[in-house]
Amino acid sequence: MRVRDVMTSDVTAVPPGESLKDVAKLMLERRVSGVPVVDAEGDVLGVVSETDLLSHHGHVAGEAMTSPAVTIAPARPLAVAADLMIERGVNRLPVVDAGKLVGILTRADLVRAFVRSDAEIAREIREDVLGNVMLLPENAVAVEVEDGDVALTGELGRRTQAELLPKLARRVAGVLEVRSRLTWGEDDTRSSTL
């Protein structure tokens, strides 16, 4: 699952000259805890959060914002976005495409993404992980999902593939545990000696 699949496209953003009083009013009206600050061209300059409002004595968004903003591209996997939020200690990521604001991703969006059906999880593992990342046929491995627990069964050509697939499957939103019953034909982890 990608950022674009769960982000909010209808983003509330403010210019750097917006008064903090108006920013606070907007945040209350829209029920959001932070807003991106963008210039006239739509480039993200920073983010004003509730914390910024409470801890800053400036008068406009450009004075109170946290800058530079931690942003993410719409094509990035949700697992990368979650890691970035945790690593940088932020609750929202402005989503930018070619430098322009196209959406926002919040921790709540990530939580909603984890409440997915088993069928959606299995489809993503087959299509994205097996097909797009590992370049294997979708039916190369049996993928069974029950209550977020994934079971992988089958034989792959190389040991490295069999070891990589469970790691990639664990990064799919909604996966709680992965059990691998994968085997391989060739052990490509052993170094050959001449």
User: Tell me: the pLDDT tens digits for 139-183?
Assistant: 899 999 998 899 999 999 999 999 999 999 998 888 889 999 999
Q: Please tell us whether the domain made up of 3-113 is placed in CATH 3.90.1310.10.
A: no
pLDDT in tens, 180-193: 999 999 999 886 55
pLDDT in tens, 6-58: 999 999 999 999 999 999 999 999 999 999 999 999 999 999 999 999 887 78
Which amino acid belongs to residue 191?
S
Please say whether the beta carbons of 164 and 158 come within 8 A. no
Please say whether the beta carbons of 53 and 64 come within 8 A. yes
Cβ-count burial of 65 within 10 angstroms (0-12 exposed, 13-18 middle, 19+ buried)?
A: buried
- Domain ranges in the chain with CATH number 3.10.580.10: 3-113
**Rounded to two decimals, what is the model's pTM?**
0.68
- Domain ranges in the chain with CATH number 3.30.1340.30: 118-186
- Written as six digits, the tokens of 20 are 């903090």
As its CATH architecture, domain 118-186 has: 2-Layer Sandwich (3.30)
